């Protein structure tokens, strides 16, 4: 089994900057997102075992481009289960816009009309974990905020909506691992200094 899993959220896009739900719409990285992705390269290069790591990415271009700009695209596998939550009729909308029609709505606790349920996304996260169980050493996964938050919660065996308590910023790096036989979060939502500087240069 993978003894450590590094999770990387893709860099910024025009929609993520506006906090729009971006599921299967294939929005590319914006300039700031590309800068953040490039800034990840020296950070990931310092991780022990990165040379032999299994690298996987969502099929969506914003994750694949982040992987490539971070220096790992030449050996990345596409795992369809790493795609972002299918938001159905909520796609492209902000939570506050949806709440104008449905007070208190949350992707974590409410129906997603025409899209995936939380249980559907958890099932995909479980398939990713089962795949990780067949890998030795380090795995690095490039994907999306909600999918990775569900994956982190599922890794720890938390209740299905536990991911709501795990914030994940663009180009953030998180680590999953083990303490003895227990699956743990080793670090979460770390935005490396180089990434912060790249973001600041674009403001």
**Domain coordinates in residue numbering, the chain:** 2-201
Residues contacting 27, CB < 8 A, separation 6+: 13, 14, 15, 16, 62
pLDDT of res. 191: 87
For 48-76, write each residue's pLDDT tens digit: 999 999 999 999 999 999 999 999 999 99
Average pLDDT over residues 90-107: 96
Average pLDDT over residues 189-201: 65
Q: State the pLDDT confidence band at 202, using cuts at 50, 70 and 90.
A: very low
Q: From residue 184, how far is each of 49, 139, 156, 180, 188 by CA, in Å? A: 19, 15, 6, 10, 11
116 is catalytic: no
Considering only CA atoms, which of 161, 167, 142 is closest in space to residue 58? 142
Kindly name the residue from 12, 21, 65, 84 that is annotated as catalytic: 84
For 135-186, write each residue's pLDDT tens digit: 999 999 999 999 999 999 999 999 999 999 999 999 999 999 999 989 999 9
Q: State the pLDDT confidence band at 2, using cuts at 50, 70 and 90.
A: confident
98 and 111 Cβ atoms separated by less than 8 Å: no
Kindly name the residue from 10, 21, 144, 146 that is annotated as catalytic: 10
136 is catalytic: no
Q: State the pLDDT confidence band at 192, using cuts at 50, 70 and 90.
A: confident
Both tokens of 198, joined, read 């790249």
Identify the architecture of domain 2-201 in CATH: 3-Layer(aba) Sandwich (3.40)
Both tokens of 33, joined, read 């997102």
CA distance linking residue 25 with residue 29, whole number of Å: 12
């Amino acid at each position: 089994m993978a003894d450590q899993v590094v999770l990387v959220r893709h860099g910024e896009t025009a929609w993520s900057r506006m906090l729009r739900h971006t599921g299967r719409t294939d929005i590319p990285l914006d300039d700031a997102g590309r800068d953040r992705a490039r800034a990840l390269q020296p950070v990931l290069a310092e991780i022990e075992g990165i040379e032999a790591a299994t690298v996987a990415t969502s099929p969506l271009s914003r994750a694949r481009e982040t992987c490539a700009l971070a220096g790992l695209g030449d050996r990345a596998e596409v795992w369809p289960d790493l795609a972002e939550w299918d938001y159905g009729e909520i796609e492209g909308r902000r939570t506050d816009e949806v709440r104008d029609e449905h007070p208190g709505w949350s992707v974590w606790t409410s129906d997603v009309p025409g899209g995936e349920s939380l249980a559907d996304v958890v099932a995909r996260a479980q398939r990713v974990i089962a795949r990780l169980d067949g890998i030795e050493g380090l795995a690095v996964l490039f994907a999306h905020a909600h999918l990775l938050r569900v994956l982190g919660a599922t890794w720890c065996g938390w209740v299905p909506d536990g991911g709501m308590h795990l914030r994940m910023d663009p180009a953030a790096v998180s680590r999953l691992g083990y303490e003895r036989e227990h699956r743990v979060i080793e670090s979460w939502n770390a935005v490396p200094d180089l990434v912060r500087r790249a973001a600041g240069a674009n403001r």
